[in-house]
Every structure is written in C-alpha cells, then in structure tokens.
Amino acid sequence: MAFKKKLYQLNPTKEIKEIVIQKTKREKSISSVSEQSNERHVREILANKLSGTHIGIWLLIPEYLRLGAWDLLKGSFSAENNNDLNARIAMQLVNESALCVNRIRRKDSLCNQGFSIANGLSFLTSDETAHELLDKRSVQHSEQLQITLMQLRRLHNHYNEQNIFAIDPHRIPSATKRLMPCKKKRPNEASHKMMQTFFCVDSFSGQPLAFNLGSSGKNCSSATLRLMEMIQQGGQKEGLFIADKEHYTKEIAEYFCKHPSFDILLPAPEVQKITQRYSQLKYTPLWAGYALGVDTFQIEGSKCPLQLIVQRQGERSDSFCYKPFLTTSTQKPVDLLTKVFPQRWTIEEFFNFEADMGWNRASTFNLNIKYSKQTLALIAQAATHQLKKKLPMNYRHWTAAHTAEQVLTNMEGDIRVKDDTIIVTFYRDHEELNLKNNFENMPQRLLSEGVNPKIPWLFDFKLDFKFK
C-alpha cells in the first residue's frame, strides 16, 4: 500500500485555492484557502462574537432563503456542494449590490467588521478574484440566471396580474478610451461612449423582469427582440409592452404583429408619413379639448398593419396639438392612452430608485463580467423588495441607496452563536422599522412558510433576531 501515500490530498474539501483578499483599504494579500479552512475560520469568528456597522445586511438572509437565492447561485456557478467558495464569492457580490456602493471592496470599513461572515466567507474577496470568477461565465449563463429568477419572482407574486410592462433602454455614459460608436442619451445632448442596458419592468409593481446589455454599437431592435425571447422563456405567456420612440423599427413592429399574445404600444415619431394624416382623420371628441382619431399604418418596408391613434388637444383648429401612437393591441384607444400609457413612467422610477444597486456605472466593457454583476444585482433587488414590504409604508418608497444606508448599514447590534443558531441582536432604531413583529422567532416563521431555516452558505446554522 506504499504507492497510495497522501491520498488525503485528493479530498475536495481540502483543495487549496490561491485567493487575493482585501485586508484593508490599501493592503491586499494572497491567501491559501480551502473549503475546510474557510468553514473553520468562519466558525471561529462566530464563536468570538461580532460587532459591526453592517448588522442590517443579516435582515436580507431570510429573504434569500424564501427566494431560493443560494440554489440559484449554486446552479449558475456550477457549485458541487454547499461548501463551494465560488458560490460564496457570488453571494458577496449580491450583498455588495444591496449596499449600493461602487468598488465596495476598497472600503476599509468592510474589511474588519464582519460583512464577509454574512456571505459565508472568512475573508473579503478582492476585485481581481471576483473578476476572474465572473470572466469565466458566459453571457448565456447570466441570461439563464435571469430567466430562472424571473420564474421564482412570479411564484412570489412580484408581478401584477394585468400583464402590462414597460421596456426602455438605459444608457450609462463611460470614460473608456476604447474606440467605439457614440450615442446620444437625449436628443439635445452631445454623443458619448456608453454602456447600454435594455430593461423590462412590470408597469404596476415596478419590479424588473429581465434585461440585456451591450456596448454603444448594440441597436435597439436586436436587443429588444432578445429581451422578448428571455421574457417568453421566463414563462410570460401574454402581455402589453409600453415602449418609446426608439422602438419604432420594422423588426420590432413585425415581431409584435406576428406574436399571438404579445402587444406593443409606443409613441410614434412625427415623420411626414404620419403628420400628413392628421387633417385627414375623423376625430371622436371625448371631453372638452380632447379627441382621438384612429387609422391603420404600416412602417416603411413592412407589410404588418399597425393601429395609428392620434391624440388631438385643443378646441380651435388654429391651436390643435397632435400626438401620434402606434399599437397592435385591440383594447379601446381611449383606455390605451389615458390608463395604460401613463404607466410607462414606472420604468423611469425604477432607474431613479434602484440604479445605485449596479445600473448607474459602466466600470467595464467585458460583457461576461458586467452582465454577471448586474444580474447578481437583480437578486439583491428582489430580496430588498421583499424586505421593504415588511417595513412601515414610508420606508417602502425609499431609494435603494437610502435603504442601504439607513437599514442595512447603520443599524447597531452584535452577532453571536447559541447551539445551532446565529443570533443577531439589535439595540436601537428597530422599533420604528417594526422589525420585532416580522423577524423575531425567525426559524419558526420560516418553517411555517415551508422554508428550511438552515442557511446552506453558513454551514446549516439557523438565524434568529433579538431586539433590546
């Protein structure tokens, strides 16, 4: 048996990885880490108790369990077991998105105050290590993760039953030195190099379904059609999509004309082919100063008929103001323009309220890395949405950055272990947030909901909260 020496080295839990960790704001080091050594150090840190300024991040852990976030990460990062380090690094990136701080690993306050323990890690991963991990994942991996997350969110009733959605490009200016096409964010602004994201958001709940992205060279038609494919794969069988003038293309019009259950509503550009019809239409007055005219219209080069709806405002012919719309929907024109189209601004509210989670900074044009980071931010956004529903009404309308600062970062407390349970104690500021009524006796709450209270990335510890 002498030729079988050192078989213990083949134990996968003892496989050693060289990881660059962020020790302080300015200091990094290369550490040799195995799954076994990481678990040992995490248990040691918990046994010594923790006090820090990011105690609030633990409030998201029950929401991750309810959402099934760990299984999403394990599947997406090909984790073989619950001790996998790559899935834990992904969990760190999710929690960083929840805290809404760019380049968060360079913040010294996170290096020594227990933030890493919430991710099941005994160290804080550096940018280099995180980017190396994400660069190995393809864009298709990120798209599949979004599709699966969309299906889970639908099961948790994150989307409204009316099936009305808003689609819109969201452009992020970049200072990159790369040679690439420039685009205008607004018609009256100069062109810039940009990272483009194309989002779809539920128009009533404000929750995102999916997105895709590209550099400045990505055109709206191809991005929108791929986004529709993802939404359909996510289980959306029907819907009315509210768009803007950028979606006035032959390819998009033909897609919605031929689709059996998807419709589109968009404001039409005031091109001559449309404006010359204003005076020819028969308008139906609906109330003082407001009338609608309806006709059929075909985009140049397309044989698919669209419904042209022209909104006329004013009482005298010399003061009429016209605004044209195109749609494939069979709903009443007055309902489309007065009830449905105003819901389009929900997507602008999403960008204003949630962009700090990772959709306001280009940072890199490596699509594998950027797509992965922004997709992980969707998990953080979903969990934060569930947390907000448990807070008093005025807190539900806070921006992501404000929530991260006031709830996830600045709460005071400590963390200790008792038997098989991690106990997080909050000392103040919890009463106005109504935390006690929603988080006390958490293991029993989760069991009553049919959720396993054991936290896989925290080595099957349970989590409970105390309030003093």
Of the pLDDT bands very low, low, confident and very high (cuts 50, 70, 90), residue 13 is low
Which of 183-192, 211-220, 364-373 bottoms out in mean pLDDT, i.e. has the lowest? 183-192
Classified as helix, coil or strand, 169 is strand
- pLDDT value at residue 174: 75
Domain ranges of the chain: 12-136+369-467, 139-365
Q: Is residue 73 within 8 Å of residue 380, measured between CB atoms?
A: no
- pLDDT value at residue 15: 76
- pLDDT value at residue 11: 62
410 or 285, greater pLDDT: 285
Of the pLDDT bands very low, low, confident and very high (cuts 50, 70, 90), residue 102 is low
Statement: residue 5 has pLDDT above 90: no
Q: Which residue's entry shows tokens 């009256």?
A: 188
Q: What is the pLDDT of residues 238-252, one digit of tens each?
A: 999 999 999 999 999
Cα separations in angstroms, 53 against 171, 344, 463: 33, 38, 18
Closest by CA position to 134, among listed 181, 179, 97, 171: 97
Cα(131)–Cα(133) distance, rounded to whole angstroms? Answer: 5
Of the pLDDT bands very low, low, confident and very high (cuts 50, 70, 90), residue 108 is very low
Q: What is the pLDDT of residues 196-228, one digit of tens each?
A: 899 999 999 999 999 998 766 778 999 999 999
DSSP label at residue 282: P
Of the pLDDT bands very low, low, confident and very high (cuts 50, 70, 90), residue 113 is low
H helices within 123-164, ranges in order?
Answer: 127-135, 139-155
Residues 6+ apart with CB under 8 A from 162: 203, 204
| Average pLDDT value for the chain | 89
Of the pLDDT bands very low, low, confident and very high (cuts 50, 70, 90), residue 153 is very high
Cα(125)–Cα(92) distance, rounded to whole angstroms? Answer: 8
Residues 6+ apart with CB under 8 A from 97: 357, 358, 373, 376, 377, 379, 380, 381
- pLDDT value at residue 375: 96
CATH code for residues 139-365: 3.90.350.10
- pLDDT value at residue 21: 83
Q: What is the pLDDT of residues 27-76, one digit of tens each?
A: 888 888 999 999 999 999 999 888 876 889 999 999 999 999 999 999 99
Cα(136)–Cα(369) distance, rounded to whole angstroms? Answer: 8
Choose from 120-129, 342-351, 359-368, 409-418 the range with maximum mean pLDDT: 342-351
pTM score, whole prediction? 0.92
Closest by CA position to 179, among listed 144, 128, 215, 132: 215
H helices within 265-364, ranges in order?
Answer: 272-275, 333-335, 346-354
Cα separations in angstroms, 316 against 43, 76, 313: 78, 61, 9
